[in-house]
Structure 1
Amino acid sequence: MIKYHPSKQLMQKHILGELPAGLSVAISAHIELCDQCGKEFDMLEAKQASSVFSESVENDNHCEFEAMMESITEMSMFDDLVPQSPEFFEYQDKQVQLPRAIAALKLGSFINAGKVSRARFELEEGPLRSSLLHIKPGGEIPEHTHTGFELTLLLDGTFEDESGEYVPGDFIMLDGRHNHTPKTKDGCLCFTLVDNALHFNKGLSKLLNPIGKLIY
């Protein structure tokens, strides 16, 4: 069962178009995977549409508004819908159907580091980095904290850290207040978004901190 969700404030900003592309993609993907947030999002969207509609009626001349609505309803519309084929990602000898918002993005090449593989999505977002992350069975990312924020949307498999176990659809937002060591028994696939480098806390991984800005 999905336990971690985007806040209502984030979903509201998503509706208003106030979020960067990577974060909007993650919220759209989560809504596709989570029935609970899908219903809440529909209600927020309907409320926002009603508010905008009411303001429009109040601000426009009533006759002009009626004429506009009549013109819209008389417009011919296309009845034929073009079916969209689902997009799949192959890993660990299986196929995973990606949420539509993620499948629509262009993905770069994978870089491998032990049992962790990462490919960046080609989005122009300034300091933000959106990626597809694959951790093989038995893999883990060394203990770290965050110099900015880190969003992880689990797409397939499971992983765990000091806070518990995560399942597909979980939307996990972390920042500098959190230390964790993500690891997976059977492997997992995630959409990730960061705005700054990770900061590793222990062992040889600390050697990466001086160049963290270059590789995040």
Structure 2
Amino acid sequence: MIKHHPTPALLLAFTQGQLGASLSIAVSAHLEHCECCRHKVLALQETSAQYLDDDVELDEWVDNEMIAAITDDDYEIHPKQSMPLRVNLKGHEYTLPRALQSVGLSNWLKLGKLARAKVDLNEGEVHTNLLHIEKGGTIPLHSHKGFELTLLLAGEFKDEFDTYVPGDFIWLNDANTHSPSTENGCLCLTVANNSMHFVQGLSQVLNPIGKLIY
């Protein structure tokens, strides 16, 4: 069962078209998995006009400063109608969210049991990636210099906070430290505005090149 969802503020911004491309895609992809949030979005769509008529500003709804800082991007998403896009990684075929079908993907960059493909959105410091972790893979213990959103698309992983299933929408910031690992492999969509900071053992040698791998 999905336990981690976008905040009400983020869902409201989504319904009002106020999110940048990366977060709009991430929320859309979450909605493909989550019936609960789909109902919430429908309810917000029905009521948002009333709040706007009453001159209620979006900022009054926002309970997260980071959300407020990234909702001023006027990029609009116009998804194409097409068959689901599929990728094959390590013998596993994954169907990607419909929201990704209108954007480009880079070639995959492999780092041990990890592989990343950049999603071409041109949002400056905000980078969006597909992240594949192979069976038995672990990301060393790290914190985040900015925010990191992880949407689990397929498989499972766990960290110090929980065990996650497809559709979980996990928002972390510089106050969080964790080490994700997976027994059977997983595919995630990640959005971040700065690099990871490794905090333990030999992995710390990666910190000088952290900008290259977020």
Q: 1:11-65 CA distances to partner (integer Å, 9 max, x unpaired)?
A: 111122222210111001101110000111111012124556x68xxxxxxxxxx
Report deviation, 1:214: 3.9
The TM-score normalised by the length of structure 2 is 0.83
What SS does the aligned partner of 1:5 have?
coil
Say whether the 8 Å CA contact 2:117–2:131 is kept in structure 1.
Answer: yes
CA distance in 2, matches of 1:45, 1:198: 36
Say whether the 8 Å CA contact 1:117–1:133 is kept in structure 2.
Answer: yes
Amino acid at match of 1:113: L
Deviates more, 1:206-215 or 1:124-133: 206-215
CA distance in 2, matches of 1:28, 1:171: 11
Which residue, 99, 102, 114 being the options, matches 1:116? Answer: 114
The unaligned stretches of length 5 or more in structure 1 are 56-81
Say whether the 8 Å CA contact 1:109–1:119 is kept in structure 2.
Answer: yes
Q: 1:65-122 CA distances to partner (integer Å, 9 max, x unpaired)?
A: xxxxxxxxxxxxxxxxx97322222223232222111232210011101000001011
Deviates more, 1:140-149 or 1:93-102: 93-102
Say whether the 8 Å CA contact 2:143–2:175 is kept in structure 1.
Answer: yes
Say whether the 8 Å CA contact 1:33–1:99 is kept in structure 2.
Answer: no
The unaligned stretches of length 5 or more in structure 2 are 55-79
Which residue, 144, 147, 150 being the options, matches 1:149? Answer: 147
Say whether the 8 Å CA contact 1:144–1:199 is kept in structure 2.
Answer: yes
Q: 1:138-160 CA distances to partner (integer Å, 9 max, x unpaired)?
A: 00100000000000000000000
Name which one, 1 or 2, has greater alpha-carbon Rg: 1
> Which residue is equivalent to 2:185?
187
> Which residue is equivalent to 1:4?
4
Which residue, 87, 99, 111 being the options, matches 2:97? Answer: 99
Amino acid at match of 2:41: F
Amino acid at match of 1:88: R
> Which residue is equivalent to 1:171?
169
CA distance in 2, matches of 1:198, 1:151: 12
Q: 1:25 to 1:211 in 2, by over 3 A?
A: same
> Which residue is equivalent to 1:73?
none
CA distance in 2, matches of 1:140, 1:104: 31
CA distance in 2, matches of 1:89, 1:16: 32
CA distance in 2, matches of 1:136, 1:190: 12
Q: Tell me the percent identity.
A: 46
Which residue, 116, 125, 130 being the options, matches 2:123? Answer: 125
> Which residue is equivalent to 2:199?
201
Any runs of at least 4 consecutive aligned residues in structure 1 with deviations exceeding 6 A, and if so which? none
Aligned residues: 189
Bigger fraction of residues in helix: 1
CA distance in 2, matches of 1:193, 1:83: 24
> Which residue is equivalent to 1:212?
210
Q: 1:93 to 1:12 in 2, by over 3 A?
A: same
> Which residue is equivalent to 2:14?
14
